[in-house]
Structure 1
């Protein structure tokens, strides 16, 4: 098995036009904690995570600013940078001291579709606390999912350059792939890529303490007035629960829990036909996935591809 240099998913950074509305939703309803703020910039942490923040919001036209991953050491940062440079990956900046909130040392590149990825180490962490029983707030960032107009090409970039592995795939009845769930450690997936009409954010997923907290969280968000677009249910791929909502900016966000941790030595990827409804939702509690539901997460075309964010 390949020794990966990327250890885990750290955070996602989004730009949104209605910055204050989005920030207030994530703090007042979704359950994140603002740990640092600048003019038009908010860093939001999860109480159960030692990551300094798991979501960064910035005032601007809607886009994915970047996705941050952790690397174990400076030596690994340089080893990964050398590997990507030799493979012709386009850099945003070379390894350097990071001057933003929480610091660290790392570099940024564009992935194959033009999204910005950051790889860092040595950043300041925060003291995580145990989420209380029945407390309906996220414990950590679970995973990020992208839409891609070139599914196989997009997924292969992460396999070839970052040594990610496909854990499972969703397929059409004719066998063509619709979605790949990809891992960089023993967690079933930290990134997934879905076939869509264009490149964009599909959804962000936030891990809850357990089933009780997940259900209470879903009810809390429904009472906030946000619309649930799919759920509650339990996926087959990853075996995790799902409840998808739309944020004020129109981004799909998910409460989940109990995402599988796998034995990489013995795991065999599955190809799961989406027409088998139990592959969509094992419980049968969510409405059957349809073209209308899928369209909700196509999102707006990401206009930030191959354009580095200002911070």
Structure 2
């Protein structure tokens, strides 16, 4: 079984490449690490690649990359994937700072790139805008959530952190409560993408930036129940939902099986569970209608 260790970057197709670059650069506070005619690569101020943009006819998240252990043997991983009925290939797509990748598709058709060699693209750069620390998680609609959850458990080594009812699943591959989320829906498409901020003050500053840029907050600030992160949500120029968050639950010890205790937890200890729909927030407003609108 492959053991994904962290999410690397997400690849988006966008019909307006210039507008997308301006959003991620001027508002989000990411650094354009490399630019080509029809694609661009953006990194955090720390220097980690988090977003690849490709010019296309529609807005869509087409690929995720995950880091594996540095001593991983891609040949062995390819054989393990084949045993699970997954075809893979070694590729080098000239992604800045990243070496060869082992590429395949998940059960819903999203491309997954596994990588082990990478380098920083910047070093503590001074940026305008929000300036997130990292890409935190990516959530998708999927028509068969049980199949998708099983794929990520069996093939990529993810663990279930929480469910909301039987239609929303949170999954982790490291100490973070979730790195991918899956929500039941008729079509495969992005539900939201989330970026981690340093702390609550950083989140407050991001709200001020949204106010200055006249970007409406469509949900939040609030503290979720699953993951207990404090979060806000807005839409980017491609009409996709973007989350800023901090204070996400941490599973420090898998054998102990509970999340690092925090005063806002209602369960003692807080273990993975199935939450009741409609009773999943610790505090904060209900989402605006615009949050539930599909693109």
TM-score range, shorter chain: 0.7 to 0.9
TM superposition shift of 1:20? 0.6
TM superposition shift of 1:102? 1.9
CA contact (8 A) 1:45 1:54 kept: yes
Look up the match of 2:255.
Answer: 265
In the TM superposition, 1:188-199 aligns within 5 A as 188-199=177-188
TM superposition shift of 1:225? 2.1
Q: Does 1:18 align with 2:16?
A: yes
Q: Does 1:58 align with 2:54?
A: yes
Counterpart of 1:282 in 2: which secondary structure?
strand
Which residue of the other structure, out of 135, 147, 160, is the alignment partner of 1:153?
147
Q: Does 1:224 align with 2:218?
A: no
Counterpart of 1:25 in 2: which secondary structure?
helix
The range that moved more, 99-108 or 4-13, is 99-108
TM superposition shift of 1:34? 0.9
Taking structure 1 as the reference length, the TM-score comes to 0.83
CA contact (8 A) 1:218 1:255 kept: no
The range that moved more, 70-79 or 115-124, is 70-79
TM superposition shift of 1:207? 0.5
Structure 2 portions without partners, runs of 5+: 258-270
State how far apart, in whole Å, the 2-side matches of 1:203 and 1:45 are.
19
TM superposition shift of 1:241? 1.1
Which residue of the other structure, out of 85, 95, 98, is the alignment partner of 2:90?
95
State how far apart, in whole Å, the 2-side matches of 1:147 and 1:195 are.
6
Q: Does 1:241 align with 2:230?
A: yes
State how far apart, in whole Å, the 1-side matches of 2:174 and 2:219 are.
28
TM superposition shift of 1:131? 8.8
Provide Cα deviations, 1:124-147, integer angstroms capped at 9, x if missing partner: 224553999xx8420111111111
In the TM superposition, 1:1-311 aligns within 5 A as 5-48=3-46, 50-51=47-48, 53-61=49-57, 62-73=59-70, 75-91=72-88, 94-126=89-121, 128-129=123-124, 136-171=130-165, 177-262=166-251, 263-267=253-257, 268-276=271-279, 279=280, 281-283=281-283, 285-286=284-285, 288-289=286-287, 292-293=289-290, 295-296=292-293, 298-299=294-295
CA contact (8 A) 2:31 2:43 kept: yes
Cα RMSD of the aligned pairs, angstroms, is 2.2
Counterpart of 2:5 in 1: which secondary structure?
strand
TM superposition shift of 1:214? 0.7
Provide Cα deviations, 1:74-121, integer angstroms capped at 9, x if missing partner: 534333222111211133xx2244533223122110100001010011
Counterpart of 2:190 in 1: which secondary structure?
strand
TM superposition shift of 1:9? 0.5
State how far apart, in whole Å, the 2-side matches of 1:293 and 1:270 are.
28
| Count of aligned residue pairs for this structure pair | 280
Structure 1 portions without partners, runs of 5+: 172-176, 300-311
State how far apart, in whole Å, the 1-side matches of 2:74 and 2:173 are.
15
State how far apart, in whole Å, the 1-side matches of 2:126 and 2:36 are.
28
Provide closer, same or farther for how the CA distance between residues 222 and 196 of structure 1 changes in structure 2, counting only shifts above 3 A. farther
